[in-house]
Structure 1
Amino acid sequence: MTKIALAGLGYWGPNLARVLNQSQTCDFVAACDVNRISLEKITTQYPFLKGYRDFNELISSDVDAVVIATPISTHYDLAKRALLAGKHVFVEKPLAHRADLARELVELAADRQKTLFTGHTFIYSPPVIKIKELIDSGEIGDVHYISLSRVNLGLYQKDVDVVWDLAVHDISILLYWLGEMPVNGASFGRACVQHDKRDVAFLWLEFPSGVVASNEISWLSPQKMRRTCVVGSKRMIVYDDMDLAEKVKIYDSGVDFCQPQTFGEFQLTYRIGDMHAPYLGNAEPLLKEIEHFVHCFTTGERSITSGEFGAQVVEVLELVDRSHLNTPQPAIAGIRMGF
């Protein structure tokens, strides 16, 4: 059985450790963290693990693959070292903090004939997979637009702003659903608490197919919300990740326009039909993701969230970063509001 090690035991690392231990497809043999207390805690919980505080020692061992769940700023360096050491590599999202570095990792993995996998967990969740099926099958018709909201009170991150922490999820979902890269993008955000770090942002993306998407993200909201609306020409979908009973709802609703022969024939028909919630199952996305990683590097199959996919997500993050407006401009010069 293939041997896997985990590097990074902070906020997300223990969750990865749990599913690595649970999986029947690999042998979870080692963990690494510079923090002695974190390392002792995980090796106490899983006594069979060999603990490392030096990453170079870890990748010099006989492990087949390394899962990297360290701060984003370290992803590139650690992934590069692991690939050069001949390991298959799973990197938590985002793949790197710059698109050129992400591309370098993709090329290195190809050169070394190793699997480079990006941890975009939502791509493995039943609701997201179901919506992909509904879009691809044409059941909802042509997609007009998608709106996504992902807000909560925290958690503030040390090394990235809210775009790189939260929008990375929604961007990956959009790329997965639509199968194309955006041609235009814009963002507006504010740093409300820390002057140098955006904690609220609004993103807009336009895709070659004509689909437009808006994305609201925030660390500064009184309520946790993860809600997405996909509007098609035939049907509409609401995906509420906070709804434990019915995460995906499909509405037979829409507006039809009858092309008039004369002005008097102008007519819009509003359709409000039934709603149904499809059965989604209860598979755990994180476990599915880890097992897909193992499957890919043992069979050579290309991953859904490959290094290439991860690099594309980083490219979109950079696109919206470049378009970021700190100061909104009035649509009409000199416009004033009077009451």
Structure 2
Amino acid sequence: MTQTPVLGVAVIGAGYWGPNLARNFAASPDWNLVAICDLDEARARSLAGRVGGVDVVGSVDELLTRPDVDAVAIATPARTHYPLAMEALRAGKHVVVEKPIADSVAAAQEMVDEASSRGLVLMTDHTFCYTPAVVKIRELITSGELGDILFVDSVRINLGLVQPDVDVFWDLAPHDLSILDFVLPGGLAVESVAAHGADPIGAGKACVGHLVLPLAGGALASVHVNWLSPTKVRTITIGGSRKTLIWDDLNPIQRLTVFDRGVSLENASAEMLGRAEQSAAKVSYRLGDTWSPALPEREALGAMVAELAAAIREKRAPLTDGEAGLRVLSVLERASGVLEGSKA
């Protein structure tokens, strides 16, 4: 039996997210973590020591000349994602980049095109998409268990740090948007974006916000983000024509709950009834069982790095590819445009 060769990877950025990536690459049987690259050499050496004493490289140019580096993981500020990713792709390296994929749709599109033209994998690290709960949500929707999607309500609020360079939409909403893109059939194929933001504390940027996204078939998704809430809430409710599910990410015992409950109009088919009769039809309520799917225990980033390796070996797009990152970024950029327009 032929043994699958281990791939070499380097992590660029040893700050907040880089250590998590490095730890998972180092623990993966698919990968050989060969180097850490960061402008802060002391920080890079500290991380390298914690993951097996791998090499420390101070220059990206030097790193990309190494033949033992098949892929790079970029965990640096969003404004640097585009130049670093493009340099890596042009050097023939596969790339996984922390969310958001770039700081503009135009930059992200160039990254996607560059990877495609070179036959390289460009992956967006939408970590939540690799959690057991979100994978199960995708399965339930794909199998038709929920029926047609009618609405999505997402809430991500907490008493969080007001970021110096982005508003609450760019800080928190990418998590929820990436999840919706992953679980909804066809991804985030939205034609319009409504955005409402407020800055009640005078921070100079939106600290509380709502996004409203019309979905296919007349469904509606809403995303509520907030830095000012004294309580932390992480929930997504997805209502279907057959069943509804609630994901509570802060509930360690029962993260997913599926409700066999819903609303229907008795004998109110548009093909069978006229407008007046349809309006007068009786509403019926379905009250069935509630159940909680069993979920495996595994770290999402471990599944993400395994998916990256599989995509490279199988010469296919990863589950959260550059196009997924582009769709999420498109919603964020359009929301920013709406907010800027409302100030004019």
After TM superposition, the score normalised by the length of structure 2 is 0.90
Q: 1:72-91 counterparts in 2 under 5 A?
A: 72-91=78-97
Counterpart of 1:269 in structure 2 is: 284
After TM superposition, the score normalised by the length of structure 1 is 0.91
Question: Structure 1 counterpart of 2:297, which letter?
Answer: N
Structure 1 residue 259 displacement after superposition: 4.0
Match of 1:170 among 163, 172, 176: 176
CA contact (8 A) 2:48 2:56 kept: yes
Counterpart of 2:57 in structure 1 is: 52
1:127-156 CA distances to partner (integer Å, 9 max, x unpaired)?
A: 111111111222222111000001122243
Match of 2:241 among 229, 233, 241: 233
Say how many residue pairs are matched: 328
Structure 1 residues 263 and 131: CA distance shift in structure 2, 3 A: closer
Structure 1 residue 327 displacement after superposition: 5.9
Counterpart of 2:3 in structure 1 is: none
CA contact (8 A) 2:41 2:56 kept: no
Question: Structure 1 counterpart of 2:60, which letter?
Answer: F
Q: Is 2:164 the partner of 1:158?
A: yes
Q: Is 2:300 the partner of 1:285?
A: yes
SS of the aligned residue for 2:103 comes to coil
Question: Structure 2 counterpart of 1:43, which letter?
Answer: A
SS of the aligned residue for 1:323 comes to helix
Residue identity (%): 38
| Counterparts of 1:111 and 1:267, CA distance in 2 | 57
Question: Structure 1 counterpart of 2:98, which letter?
Answer: E
SS of the aligned residue for 1:28 comes to strand
Unaligned runs of 5+ in 1: 329-339
| Counterparts of 2:61 and 2:163, CA distance in 1 | 26
Structure 1 residues 39 and 248: CA distance shift in structure 2, 3 A: same
CA contact (8 A) 1:183 1:206 kept: yes
Question: Structure 1 counterpart of 2:172, which letter?
Answer: L
Structure 1 residue 18 displacement after superposition: 1.1
| Counterparts of 2:92 and 2:8, CA distance in 1 | 13
| Counterparts of 1:19 and 1:156, CA distance in 2 | 29
CA contact (8 A) 2:23 2:51 kept: no
Tell me the C-alpha RMSD between the 2 structures. Answer: 2.0
Counterpart of 1:34 in structure 2 is: 39
1:7-48 CA distances to partner (integer Å, 9 max, x unpaired)?
A: 111111111111111111010010011123311211222343
CA contact (8 A) 1:188 1:325 kept: no
| Counterparts of 1:286 and 1:264, CA distance in 2 | 49
Structure 1 residue 273 displacement after superposition: 2.0
CA contact (8 A) 2:153 2:223 kept: yes
Question: Structure 1 counterpart of 2:140, which letter?
Answer: L
Question: Structure 1 counterpart of 2:51, which letter?
Answer: Y
1:188-245 CA distances to partner (integer Å, 9 max, x unpaired)?
A: 1123445332222110001233221000012222122110111111111111000101
Between stretches 260-269 and 316-325, larger displacement belongs to: 260-269
CA contact (8 A) 1:189 1:326 kept: no
